[in-house]
Structure 1
Amino acid sequence: MAEVNARAYNSVWQFRADAWCRLEEAAERLARASSHGKPTDQLAETVGDLVTKLAPYEHFWAFPGKTFFAQTQRQFSAGHYDRFARTVAKINRALVTESYRGGESLINVAHDHEALNTDNGQQEDISAEGNERPYFEVLVVETMSESQERALRKAVRSWRRADDEFIYELVVVGSGDEAVIAARLNVNLQAVVVRRRFAHKSSRELAALGDFVDSRVSEDLADHPPEERAQILAASISDIRPELDLYLMTEIEVEDMAGRVGHNFRRVFHAREGVLELHLSILHGVAERYRTPFFSALKQYSHRPTGVFHALPISQGKSIVNSHWIKDMVSFYGLDVFMAETSATCGGLDSLLEPTGPLREAQDLAAKAYGSRHTYFVTNGTSTANKIVGMALIAPGDIVLVDRNCHQSHHYGTMMAGAHVTYLEAYPLSKYSMYGAVPLVEIKSKLLGLRRAGKLDRVKMLMLTNCTFDGVVYDVERVMEECLAIKPDLVFLWDEAWFAFARFHPVYRTRTGMAAAKTLRERMKDPAYRERYNEYLAERAMHPEPTDEELLTQRLLPDPAQARVRVYSTQSTHKTLTSLRQGSMIHVFDQDFDQKVAETFHEAYMAHNSTSPNYQILASLDLGRRQVALEGVELVQKQIENAMQLRDAIDNHPLLSKYMHCLSTAELIPEEFRPSGIAQPLRSGLANMMAAWAADEFVLDPSRITLYIGPTGYDGDTFKRQQLMDRYGVQINKTSRNTVLFMTNIGTTRSSVAYLVEVLVKIARELDDHLADLSQTERAIHDRQVASLTADATSMPDFSGFHTSFLDLGGDGEPTPEGDVRKAFYLAYTDSFCEYLSPEEVESKIDAGQQVVSATFVTPYPPGFPVLVPGQVFSKQILNFIRFLDTPEIHGYQPHLGYRVYTDKAIEMATPTTTVAPAITNGNGSAAASKHSGKRKSKAAAD
């Protein structure tokens, strides 16, 4: 039987599940061998090993609970193998089916020694199939005896009522470090009750838990009085699980305690008076997160009889149920979908554009769940969300720094807003024909260059994708901190379309826009930071003023008296969490929102949102928020564990590893961006992952698996279409020349992971058999194909630069890289200004020293970012890059016509009277601005 090793797992849920399943199997074999008089020593050793491995973890769950687990251990130690096997089987069945969540489990008789130790082994059944009330667990932090704990459980159960909306059980720990461990491990927890008397450090041995937790909180709790310990512990738990409701019970100066530490707790109770009130408060706190105002209002509305004398014939299914020809819509979708269709904004419902009722409540609950100051629902995707934020904050002529590889909605959004765009270059990964993320030094370089040119006052926003499609995650907090040191009022837009789930994992959360914004705001409010900043200024004053080149390598600190934290995150809820397609959210943490943005945001929201939004999408966003508020931590842990198991299954398989492997952090993030030096933080334990995520400029999202398939001889698009999708129905989105990207999500199951591994093994086995039958000539052809796919890409172009017609001068007369994309875009609306050139014709003109300027966005999909934007100058590197792409879908390029470019006449007319020298493309495709600047009259002006 395969050994269960906790080190092979990255979260405890799968380790625990597998260990109990293997324990049931081993216990059954042990009982059978014992009853037949066969040797049991080896089987007993296996069982004992499994029990020993489970023991440290079972302390932190209500079921089966530490007391009952200890009694089960005694059955084994006493040699009652048959009774032990039956007990283990019942426990495992309850865990697998989750029937213990009914609340009427063995936990209720865990202290009845006679019931547990009778010779006939009769025990109360664990199942409670008739109870459908949601179940959760409450952590109680207090040092208490077993009898005290038993009395507390009895008291809590005595307050239960049949009409309670939820049921819960208690998990009791006696120390602060154990409380933090429980918060990390037990995803069933929804509330924590901190009582006055608890130790700072556990008396139990916790070394076995080191792979999953960091229990150093005991150091922070030492040498503090009980009240301060409670406050420190509450802050530690909130950092890990901010969604948990925290309660304090104390006997001393409860009124004073409420005033001093109440901001850390939902309620403060007197220990002798508040047991019933605490019980009711716990239920009420969970009910607040369970509440779905808009979904409930829509459901209630769907049950009302209405007369529709307005739009929407489909309302309540009326145009369908009376039809002779489309009744199959009802049989396919179900009647409730149509019963909830309406265009009404009253009668208990609400308006998306002017919410004042349940929709506004739903958005407020979402803001609390995601840690924002304001949250807005969007029913037509994050593409629209990005445009709303852009239009709300950018005025024509503002300068915006944009990741060139970001989603096309940013490019279109900045064009529509009239921004002058400075494109930022991500580091290239030539071997895989993809780009990573934008280094901080690149961002600082552009900001400092604009400051030299006297244009910093025009710089409004920085737009970055976090995380990238391929899973590269920024150090969000550091990027914002250093940028604010140069431009104190810079606005940040973090496109987290594929990262909405990150809020609900304690390690991921630190690198999200909303969490980093809150941390940065709190830090700059802290007097200790002001002292640190003054020391920083004093130290700098002792040295010559640093040059811009020196500033690129220094850690910059913002002035707390000037810096404003202005952060926006856009998220595709439907991509990584539960929502109907196109359900997205905008999260806002902007100190100046109410004073400077609220009105323009409202206008932008009105401009881009439909006046007839899909209520089903809005209701699904409300429900999706409820889900993550109550079980997001559990679902994201499972998502990550499934991804890690998929990685291990591929890379440890002898046949699969011959043709493919999962790219590691070291392969996707160059060493210069990883000061931690940890090459495989995803596979070397939680402590290493936390260390890398705390120190490295870029980290890799474990839920993304980039599979390198170059040795197969298949390019990414062929592998995706012909192998995965057409033959086996495996759906993926992103490919590159020699990679395919798999993403686990909260809906991924262990069975789906197993199916994918099975499919990959079939493909590899067929390839292995095919290669064995090739002739020498055919093998040579295959080897050449493999060589072309495993060599570095010949061209990974940087942004070639805007034509001078779409640039303006800096304060010193030198060109700066921002371009007027809107001017270039609308110039193409005059057909006579444009012509089509084939790739060969474009290349010929470049060779002749002429500049060819794109009139359109040219966007290969995937990956989905523009290679050319309106006003951009063609380069040979760009032509080669597009020529060798493996994807047949290139938006903005028509193979039978070629590229749409501006005529010489159009460029001449667009060129201002005073201009700058053209941007010159260097050998690797990047733009190098000419030092020459001069004045000349354009032909159009002369005419």
Structure 2
Amino acid sequence: MQSISDYSSAIQLRSDRWSGLREVCAALTRDPQPNEAVELLKSVTLHLESLGRMEPYWAFPGMAVFDHMRRQFEMGKYDDLAFAVNRVARALATGAYRRRHIPLERDSIDQEEHDDEAMLSPEARALTKPYFEVLIVDSVSEQQERWLRNNVKSMRRSEDPFIYEAVVVPSLEDALIAVLFNHNIQAIVVRPGLTLKSKAISTIVDRYTARAGGRASIDALKPEDYGPELCRMIAKVRPELDAYLVTERSVEDIAGHDLGICRRVFYNQEDFMELHLNILRGVQARSKSPFFTALVEYSKQPTGVFHAMPISRGKSITRSHWIQDMGAFYGANIFLAETSATSGGLDSLLEPHGPIKEAQELASRAFGSKQTFFATNGTSTCNKIVVQALVRPGDIVLVDRDCHKSHHYGMVLAGAQVCYLDSYPLNEYSMYGAVPLREIKHQLLKLKAAGKLDRVRMLLLTNCTFDGLVYNVERVMEECLAIKPDLIFLWDEAWFAFARCDPTYRQRTGMNAANVLRPKFRTEAHAAAYEKQQAKLKNADEETLLNTRLIPPPDARVRVYATQSTHKTLTSLRQGSMIHVNDQDFKGEVEQSFHEAYMTHTSTSPNYQIIASLDVGRRQVELEGFEFVKRQIEAAMSMRRAISQHPLLSKYFKVLTVGDMVPPEYRESGVTSYYDVEHGWTDLWECWQRDEFVLDATRVTLAVGGTGWDGDTFKTEILMDKYGIQINKTSRNTVLFMTNIGTTRSSVAYLIEVLVEIARSLDELLDDASRMERLSFERRVHNLTEEYPPLPDFSRFHDAFRADDVTAEGDIRTAFFLAYNEKNCDYLELDGSLKAALDAGQTVVSASFIIPYPPGFPILVPGQVVSQEILAFMRALDVTEIHGYRPDLGLRVFTEAALKSVRDKDLSSSPS
């Protein structure tokens, strides 16, 4: 039986324990041999002990039933126990307990026992009432607990939109464990009888209370504050939940407390019906999807169509003799919901006043922003909207050079002076990491020394990167604001929208950091710390500032934007994205320009189906995002463990750990791997609190150089063509497997089977290989694992596109449009004229973006000088897809005459 340390979350642990208990109980009923029976009895005991620590936090099957099962085991009633355990395990696996009562007696008949929820039609599942659980926190006797449960159950009515069951725990610590254990909990009722301490194992208490502030802060609480403080603590770990505080204290005593997620306070009363109605109303508020509902209602209306879109109401399809297959494939509803009208209960994305406006407000609440805007053109468009809204021609923007190409094009459109930031290289795997904070501070301090800090507008970083590297967002913002107090931050969270759903991940999101920093800057403690540091750093040199964790001034402005590809990591149709805003100056300074940029880039005919899917995806985030992301992380963790522990796979493959992808100077925790065979899983919380960079565990980067295949070949010819496994990203010798909220355990198992089959085929191939074939294989492996081209840094912008040679920013817009005139450009061959020009000491300047796939980031931008290192990297690339490069002509570069014309123009326009 695997130990607790082999699991990253309680959800999968509990599921596997019930499945294991079912197997050993069934074996006990088959008259085992005496020696075998002894081992089975030990195993049942271990399973019951393990489950006994988890079941108090779940409503089904409930502790009363579980204790009855234990008594059955102690009395030797193994047949009865096996029957009950089988029913419970099956109900948990299929979700049947959510729909109906599960009888556990041996003589009971369950007509629907073999109905798996997944086998029901979508229509049948949509008609069932959603199920959730309510956590009641009160230290009561067993009899009082039954009274509480019965009163809650007696409030149910047939017209209620939901079904819920109660879970009762005695203490504040148990409540924190419960909301992090049990994904079914949607509401918490905090009663005045709660105590502080849990009787759970101390390691479990430590692990789950750390997320709410740690045991030290909990131990310091006063008894009269347990209820209000619990509401506040739960808001830190699961802010989507509702809490209801039942208190005997006066309103004056409660008013001064931060009640976190508390929706209502009940004073010294036992009005269960009022509480019941509030619980339903709270969950219903999160369950609303106003635009999706409006679209459904619109599709039911009889409508005469006299506007654009022949496909509206499906008329152009139903009347067709040749495209009926399209109607049969998609079904009628998608066409009934198609329209170009903004009336009839619908709304305009460009000027929302109805259900779209309400849907965006609900998304703002769900993701912790001040304003949220939907986009139907993907995050590429979101990035351009934010950049154009905030950046004025001539503004200096610090940009992660390895960011998505939409940011580079956004800089061109905005006319920004771009200061590119270099990430640390991972040469061995032909990928870049992320931009060290020291590099960002260094560039800001250089600009400050040059008197240009007033022109610095924005810092743009990708969080998390495609490969899963995540910044310490709060620290980056604090230290940058200490140098430039009104700096704007754009966090490209295209691959990180799901992070909001998990307490560990959430702390490294842009919106969460903004919500933490805004109140922090207003505190007296922060002001005192700032003044103390300022006195200490008076006349400090740059090296001292780089080595100091800087504190921003109390009047620093928190201005944060995050763009997210909802469709990439949450539920949405393709191109469904969101822009989240948490900018203190949005209303006064940005709102008008933002709406102009939004109008510029947003289609006047947005896809309503995409908008509806964003609305429903937000609903899922608030009601089951916590569960789905926990399952996603567990799937990735189990994949890592399975590959790392398999002796055959380790011959040809290696799962890259945080130690492989984050250099030690950026890992203060000292953790090199989130999993090892001896100790199991590391608790990610400490690493994610302290380290400058962490690794998103849901992305599994697999080094495949040991197979002799490069990443692109392994992806296309092996995984895709042979086994039907789809992935997005490769590097020269790695492939990236991304789990998501739809990843199942079966998918993980299939991937492991495929990798084992590949490894076995390689074993057989090498076993039959001739000496020359083996040498050829070893040479390919050596080339992929030992001989790798160093990744080039950003060289520099040519002087024609720079104001001076003091700081690094350059005019990318002028360079981009200069290339529109073919007379300004020439082509040089990599192995011929380009190499000869560089060898002769000539300055060669790129006229276009050069983006090889993989790795998928620009190694040259318009106006950038081509260095020997960049040329060597391009010559060493063994990929067939390089955007911006013409194999038949070569690299597109500026002529010397074109560069001179820019310099002459700058000289003529400069003041004499």
Q: Do Structure 1 and Structure 2 share a fold, with TM-score over 0.5?
A: yes
Cα 1:686/1:230, change in 2 over 3 Å: farther
The one-letter code of the counterpart of 1:791 is E
1:336 equivalent to 2:329? Answer: no
* Between 516-525 and 683-692, the greater mean CA deviation after superposition: 683-692
Instruction: Give the match's secondary structure for 2:57.
Output: coil
1:776 equivalent to 2:771? Answer: yes
What corresponds to 1:112 in structure 2? none
1:458 equivalent to 2:455? Answer: yes
1:237-636 matched pairs, under 5 angstroms:
237-254=234-251, 257=254, 260=257, 264-541=261-538, 545-561=539-555, 563-636=556-629
1:710-729 matched pairs, under 5 angstroms:
710-729=705-724
What corresponds to 1:657 in structure 2? 650
Instruction: Give the match's secondary structure for 1:901.
Output: strand
- Pairwise CA distance, 1:173: 0.6
Summarize deviations over 1:582-630 as a string: whole Å, max 9, x none: 0000000000000000000000000000000000000000010001110
- Pairwise CA distance, 1:205: 4.1
1:152-301 matched pairs, under 5 angstroms:
152-207=148-203, 214=210, 217=214, 219-222=216-219, 224-254=221-251, 257=254, 260=257, 264-301=261-298
What corresponds to 1:644 in structure 2? 637
What corresponds to 2:759 in structure 1? 764
What corresponds to 1:877 in structure 2? 869
- Pairwise CA distance, 1:908: 0.9
1:669 equivalent to 2:666? Answer: no
Cα distance in structure 2, aligned partners of 1:209 and 1:81: 33
Cα 1:732/1:260, change in 2 over 3 Å: closer
- Pairwise CA distance, 1:219: 4.1
The sequence identity of aligned pairs, in percent, is: 55
- Pairwise CA distance, 1:264: 4.8
Summarize deviations over 1:111-136 as a string: whole Å, max 9, x none: xxxx96xxx66588896989810000
Cα 1:621/1:39, change in 2 over 3 Å: closer
1:817-836 matched pairs, under 5 angstroms:
817-836=808-827
Summarize deviations over 1:203-233 as a string: whole Å, max 9, x none: 4545466666648855434464444122221
What corresponds to 2:121 in structure 1? none
Instruction: Give the match's secondary structure for 1:893.
Output: coil
1:137-156 matched pairs, under 5 angstroms:
137-156=133-152
Of the three residues 810, 823, 828, the one matched with 1:837 is 828
Summarize deviations over 1:710-763 as a string: whole Å, max 9, x none: 111111011111100011110011111110000000010000001111111111
What corresponds to 1:66 in structure 2? 63
Partners of 2:636 and 2:739 within 8 A in 1: yes
Cα 1:210/1:564, change in 2 over 3 Å: closer
The one-letter code of the counterpart of 1:26 is V
Partners of 1:176 and 1:201 within 8 A in 2: yes
Partners of 1:363 and 1:375 within 8 A in 2: yes
Cα distance in structure 2, aligned partners of 1:721 and 1:61: 45
Cα distance in structure 2, aligned partners of 1:248 and 1:503: 25
Cα distance in structure 2, aligned partners of 1:440 and 1:868: 23
What corresponds to 1:132 in structure 2? 128
The one-letter code of the counterpart of 2:578 is M
Partners of 1:12 and 1:212 within 8 A in 2: no
Summarize deviations over 1:354-385 as a string: whole Å, max 9, x none: 00000000000000000000100000100000
* Between 867-876 and 121-130, the greater mean CA deviation after superposition: 121-130
- Pairwise CA distance, 1:96: 0.9
Cα distance in structure 1, aligned partners of 2:657 and 2:504: 19
Summarize deviations over 1:610-655 as a string: whole Å, max 9, x none: 0000000000000100011100000001001000111111111111
- Pairwise CA distance, 1:28: 1.1
Partners of 2:135 and 2:189 within 8 A in 1: yes
Cα distance in structure 2, aligned partners of 1:125 and 1:209: 41
The one-letter code of the counterpart of 2:269 is R
TM-score scaled by length of structure 2? 0.95
- Pairwise CA distance, 1:16: 1.0
Cα distance in structure 2, aligned partners of 1:276 and 1:20: 35
Cα distance in structure 2, aligned partners of 1:682 and 1:598: 46
Partners of 1:807 and 1:815 within 8 A in 2: no
What corresponds to 1:902 in structure 2? 894
Of the three residues 735, 747, 755, the one matched with 1:752 is 747
* Between 762-771 and 786-795, the greater mean CA deviation after superposition: 786-795
Cα distance in structure 1, aligned partners of 2:259 and 2:643: 50
CA RMSD of aligned residues (A): 2.2
Instruction: Give the match's secondary structure for 2:157.
Output: coil
Cα distance in structure 1, aligned partners of 2:911 and 2:845: 20
What corresponds to 1:15 in structure 2? 13
Cα distance in structure 2, aligned partners of 1:461 and 1:752: 41
Cα 1:892/1:353, change in 2 over 3 Å: same
Of the three residues 801, 805, 818, the one matched with 2:800 is 805
Cα distance in structure 1, aligned partners of 2:74 and 2:734: 53
What corresponds to 1:109 in structure 2? none
What corresponds to 1:919 in structure 2? none
The one-letter code of the counterpart of 1:235 is R
- Pairwise CA distance, 1:49: 1.1
The one-letter code of the counterpart of 2:692 is E
Cα 1:539/1:248, change in 2 over 3 Å: same
Cα 1:474/1:734, change in 2 over 3 Å: same
Partners of 1:180 and 1:217 within 8 A in 2: no
TM-score scaled by length of structure 1? 0.92
What corresponds to 1:925 in structure 2? none
Cα distance in structure 1, aligned partners of 2:825 and 2:399: 27
- Pairwise CA distance, 1:314: 0.6
Partners of 2:342 and 2:348 within 8 A in 1: yes
* Between 96-105 and 322-331, the greater mean CA deviation after superposition: 96-105
- Pairwise CA distance, 1:526: 1.9
1:852 equivalent to 2:844? Answer: yes
Cα distance in structure 2, aligned partners of 1:529 and 1:700: 30
The one-letter code of the counterpart of 1:471 is G
- Pairwise CA distance, 1:257: 2.6
What corresponds to 1:5 in structure 2? 3
The one-letter code of the counterpart of 2:281 is H
Cα distance in structure 1, aligned partners of 2:528 and 2:398: 32
Partners of 2:853 and 2:879 within 8 A in 1: yes
The one-letter code of the counterpart of 2:195 is A
Cα 1:261/1:359, change in 2 over 3 Å: same
